[in-house]
Amino acid sequence: MGIGEQGLWLALIIGNSRWHWGAFEGDRWLGSWHTLHLTEAQTDQLQQSRFALSAWQQLGIETVLPSNPGDGGQEHQELWMASVVNTPAAWLVSSAHVHPIATKQVPLQNTYPTLGVDRALALVGAGDRWGWPVLVIDCGTALTFTAGADQRLIGGAILPGLRSQFRALPAHTDQLPALEFDPDVWPQRWATNTSEAMVSGILHTQLAGIRDFVVAWEADWPSGAVVLTGGDSAAIYRYLAKQTPTLAQRINHDPDLGFWGLRVCRQQKLEKPSAIGL
């Protein structure tokens, strides 16, 4: 598979809730966009056009792709992708310009077989962008803590994310209402009605858990970085800044860690063609 060092290329991370897309020109970041899970027909349409801007426009999806890329055209784009969902990934891997990445292909030591590729990429991306050692807190469908040093996994933890907790309570109880997570609402701790009590319980305990993991991390790795990422990371960062400003000052917010991880994988392939089994 040919890899162009300076051309336009795309990155895709297929998550549980959404597809996350990013665009690079060589090593230069152009930006990201997000879609709901695409259908096989939509995926095929994009793939047949080599992800050209016109195909995205036909689907009504706004992207950051330039109208006149400097490499002479968008029909020769590479796609570097990782997925935590099996079926959509199978739709994409048949083309020669698609480079699928699994956990074992991420340049990270001390991993285990069931480690999610999204966590591995985010950790490597954080190490590349913010330096090692680093703790990644991914605020998505699941809230995950993933720590590493010297491009080696230390370990981590997984629990339900904010929106998953909001969905779980009405799904497993008879009387509790279905609520939508509102990132602009700051709940009072001692609520006086059921809905507000649910919001208070979910948000305050999630923030307490994050603070606890950060404090434990800083005790073990005083010089280590902490980075928030994921779909709800901006809201979580605002909440932390409101509740514990001194802690928030020690935390970095970077929603694009997975893309930096895919960039590391691509760069490794450019430097050592045999390093990634593609």
Q: What is the CATH number of domain 8-100?
A: 3.30.420
Specify the residue for token string 């960062």.
237
The answer to whether 236 and 207 have CB atoms below 8 angstroms apart is yes
Split the chain (278 residues) into runs of 10 and give each run's mean pLDDT: 71 92 94 94 89 93 80 65 82 79 96 96 98 97 97 98 94 94 89 96 96 98 97 95 95 98 94 63
For residue 83, count CB atoms less than 10 angstroms from its CB and return exposed for 0-12, middle for 13-18, buried for 19 or more: buried
Ordered by start, the domain boundaries in the chain are 8-100, 117-258
Whole-number Å distance between alpha carbons of 207 and 47:
41
What's the Cα-to-Cα distance from 127 to each of 22, 56, 108, 146, 151, rounded to whole Å? Answer: 19, 32, 10, 11, 7
Same fold yes or no, 8-100 and 117-258: yes
Top-level class of domain 117-258? alpha beta
Give the pLDDT confidence of 53-65 residue by residue, as tens digits: 999 999 999 999 9
Count of beta carbons in the 10 Å neighbourhood of residue 228? 24
Could you tell me the pTM of the whole model?
0.91
- Looking at the annotation, which residues are catalytic? 118
Give the pLDDT confidence of 204-227 residue by residue, as tens digits: 999 999 999 999 999 999 999 999
